[in-house]
Amino acid sequence: MSNPISQVRKMLDAYYEVFKRIYLVVSSELAKKMIIQRVCCWAWKRREKEGLVFEVRVEAVDRLARLSGMSKFIIIRPSSKYLKYT
């Protein structure tokens, strides 16, 4: 979690563009909470005209048994067009 937010944004952009979902393994439970916050912030700042809905799976390395067991979150960012009128 020592990477600057700009570098994290570039990483998330690359993962999202290729896979349309993001899977991350982090060092601890605290890092897990921090990366979830960064993913939400990144999604908000993308300002997609059609909105943004994608899956994020995050788990601490010491709790990871298999990918299907990772904590799963669905991030929903309404379209900027919708937000403009509310």
Indicate the pLDDT class of residue 84, thresholds 50, 70 and 90: low
Is the model's pLDDT at 62 over the cut of 70?
A: yes
Provide the whole-model pTM.
0.80
What DSSP string describes 21-82?
EEEEEESSHHHHHHHHHHHHHHHHHH--TT-EEEEEEEEEGGG-S-GGGSEEEEEEE--HHH
Q: Are 44 and 76 in contact (CB under 8 A)?
A: no
Cβ neighbours, 10 Å, residue 59: 20
Q: What is the pLDDT of residue 85?
A: 53
Is the model's pLDDT at 82 over the cut of 80?
A: no
The whole-chain average pLDDT of the chain stands at: 87
Q: Are 55 and 22 in contact (CB under 8 A)?
A: yes
